[in-house]
Amino acid sequence: SEELLRNSDRLAVMGQLAAGLAHEIRNPLTALKGFIQLLQSSPKENKSYYPIMLTELDRINLILNEFLLLSKPRPTLFGDTDIRVVIRHVVTLLDTQAILSKVRIVIVEKEDLPVIRCDENQMKQVFVNVLKNAIEAMPDGGEVTVTTLLSEQDVVVRVQDEGDGISDELISRIGQPFFTTKDKGTGLGLMVCNNIMENHGGRLTIRSVPGKGTTVEVELPIREGAAQEDRLVRV
Ligand code: ADP
Ligand code: MG
């Protein structure tokens, strides 16, 4: 019966997601319809709407892509991983975006870390999402510090930024589907992260001091051994 409950939970979550998805996609679709009507009546005068239409289409595409990542069951491939290697790789990936935003990413490796069992690609996705959020939180530039350390039972990756932080009233809404404070955000990134962390028996926590910055902590358990067979990732 526990499994049944979890399935119906899953259905409820998918229902909420679908409703949110419909809502998110209806806006750009309505805009596109309006532009097409304008172009139909006077094609020459309204040519300047084409780039805006393409942007709206890109937005629909982005929302659907992130949504599919959430809803499509993917096999999780656990392997023995040095999380520091994953971090270095992700930081390299985001180099260009960081430089363009005048953000410096500093890696601090506190101590030697044990190898952990995780799906490297999924963990990369988590750190890309978290680091992008940190960069986006500092439109005028600043520093992001990524610290890897060891706690009693976990490997911890701490991502600190110097952005504006998150107000107390908004922090509880973070991670809810489609909650975003950004013009071009989807509000799905941290939901995907949470999903992946749950699948790893780990967790993701956010602390924020408005005006000072935000700290995201990703905790991964050190070896549960056989308990972590390949599983499916689902919402
Ligand atoms: P998106 O980035 O598309 O908005 P996310 O799920 O990644 O979606 O983040 C949801 C929201 O959480 C963001 O819109 C932002 O308001 C808040 N947030 C996340 N990370 C940070 C951060 N480092 N600093 C400030 N706000 C953040
Ligand atoms: Mg994001």
How far apart are the CA of 160 and the centre of ligand 2, in A? 15
Residue 17: φ, ψ to 5° = -65, -45
Tally Cβ neighbours within 10 Å of residue 60: 15
List, in order, residues 6 or more apart from 204 with CB less than 8 Å away.
126, 130, 190, 193, 194, 197, 216, 217, 218, 219
What is the predicted ipTM?
A: 0.99
Question: Distance (Å, rounded) from C-alpha 221 to C-alpha 116?
Answer: 7
Ligand 1 and 181: CB distance under 6 A: yes
- Residue among 66, 180, 195 whose CB has most ligand 1 atoms within 8 A, to mutate: 180
How far apart are the CA of 139 and the centre of ligand 2, in A? 14
Record the pTM.
0.81
Encode the chain (235 residues) as per-residue pLDDT tens digits.
Answer: 445 555 566 666 677 778 888 888 998 999 999 999 999 999 999 999 999 999 999 989 988 887 887 776 677 889 999 999 999 999 999 999 999 999 999 999 998 999 999 999 899 999 999 999 999 999 999 999 999 999 989 999 999 999 999 999 999 999 888 899 998 888 989 988 998 999 899 999 999 999 999 999 999 999 754 444 444 444 3
